[in-house]
Amino acid sequence: MDPSAPQYARLEKELAHQEKLFLSYKTLLFDDRRMTRVNDLYDVLMFLILKWNGIVPDEVKSTDLSHIKPKAFMKHIPEHWMNDIFEFQFCYLRFKEDYVKTLTSRVRGNTNIVQDYITFVSVLLCENEFISNPYSKAKIVELVSFFGNDNRPIRDLYDNNDLAKRVLTPGLLKFYIDIEFTGASHQFYAKYEYRHYATNIFKVIWKLDAYKQAYNQTNSEIIERFTNMVMNDTTYCMDEGLDKLGKIIEYKTKEASGRHLTPEEKKDLDRFEGIAKSVFLQVKEGLSLMAEISAWAPKSFFFGDFRKRLASMLNYFLVQCMSSKYMGIQGSSGNKLHFKPGKFLRDIIQIYVNLSFDEEFCSEITLDQRSYSFEEMTRAVKKVRMDKVLSEDVIEQFEALLERTEKISIQTQDITAKLGDIPDEFMCPISCDLMKEPVRLPTSDTVMEKSVIKQILLNDEHDPFNRAPLKFSEVQDLPELKRKIEDWVQRKLRGDVIEEEKAPKKVEKEVVGDMEEEKEGDDENTYSDLFYQKKF
Give pLDDT tens digits for 323-373: 888 766 765 566 788 898 989 999 999 999 999 999 999 999 998 888 999
Instruction: Pick the last residue of a domain from 419, 436, 456.
Output: 419
pLDDT exceeds 60 at position 508: no
Same domain for 517 and 461? no
Name the pLDDT band for 535 (thresholds 50, 70, 90): very low
Number of domains in the chain: 5
Same domain for 123 and 165? yes
Same domain for 23 and 130? no
Burial 120-146 (b: 16+ CB within 10 A, else e): bbbbbbbebebbeebeebbbbbbbbbb
pLDDT exceeds 90 at position 306: yes
Same domain for 194 and 90? yes
Comparing 440 with 92, which gets the higher pLDDT?
Answer: 440
Burial 378-414 (b: 16+ CB within 10 A, else e): eebbeebeeeebbeeebbebbeebbeebeebbeeeee
Q: CB of 244 within 8 A of CB of 276?
A: yes
pLDDT of residue 518: 42
Same domain for 165 and 227? no
Residue 436, burial from CB neighbour count under 10 angstroms (0-12, 13-18, 19+): middle
Same domain for 385 and 325? yes
Q: Which of 319, 313, 236, 333 is nearest to 279 (CA)?
A: 236
Give pLDDT tens digits for 30-47: 777 877 788 788 888 887
Same domain for 47 and 124? yes
pLDDT of residue 527: 31
pLDDT of residue 184: 52
Secondary structure of residue 160 in the 3-state scheme: coil
Strands 446-449 and 107-108: unpaired
Q: If you average pLDDT over every residue of the chain, what do you get?
A: 81
Give pLDDT tens digits for 261-293: 999 999 999 999 999 999 999 999 999 999 999
The pTM for the full model equals 0.78
Comparing 305 with 238, which gets the higher pLDDT?
Answer: 238
Instruction: Pick the last residue of a domain from 218, 242, 277.
Output: 218
pLDDT above 70 covers what percent of the chain?
79
**215 CA to centre of own chain:** 16
Q: Which of 192, 69, 169, 68 is nearest to 118 (CA)?
A: 169
Name the pLDDT band for 501 (thresholds 50, 70, 90): low
User: Residue range 177-188: average pLDDT?
Assistant: 66
Same domain for 233 and 346? yes
Cα distance between residue 153 and residue 172, in whole Å: 21
Q: CB of 412 within 8 A of CB of 362?
A: no
- What single letter denotes the amino acid at residue 266? K
Q: CB of 402 within 8 A of CB of 378?
A: yes
Give pLDDT tens digits for 368-426: 888 999 999 999 999 999 999 999 999 999 999 999 998 888 877 777 778 888 899 99
Same domain for 376 and 283? yes
pLDDT of residue 369: 81
Range of the domain at 320: 220-419
Beta strands in 158-282 (DSSP E): none
Same domain for 90 and 181? yes
Same domain for 328 and 303? yes
Cα distance between residue 306 and residue 298, in whole Å: 11
Cα distance between residue 327 and residue 284, in whole Å: 18
Q: CB of 245 within 8 A of CB of 324?
A: no
CATH code at position 477: 3.30.40.10
Name the pLDDT band for 247 (thresholds 50, 70, 90): very high
Instruction: Pick the last residue of a domain from 374, 400, 419.
Output: 419
Same domain for 472 and 528? no
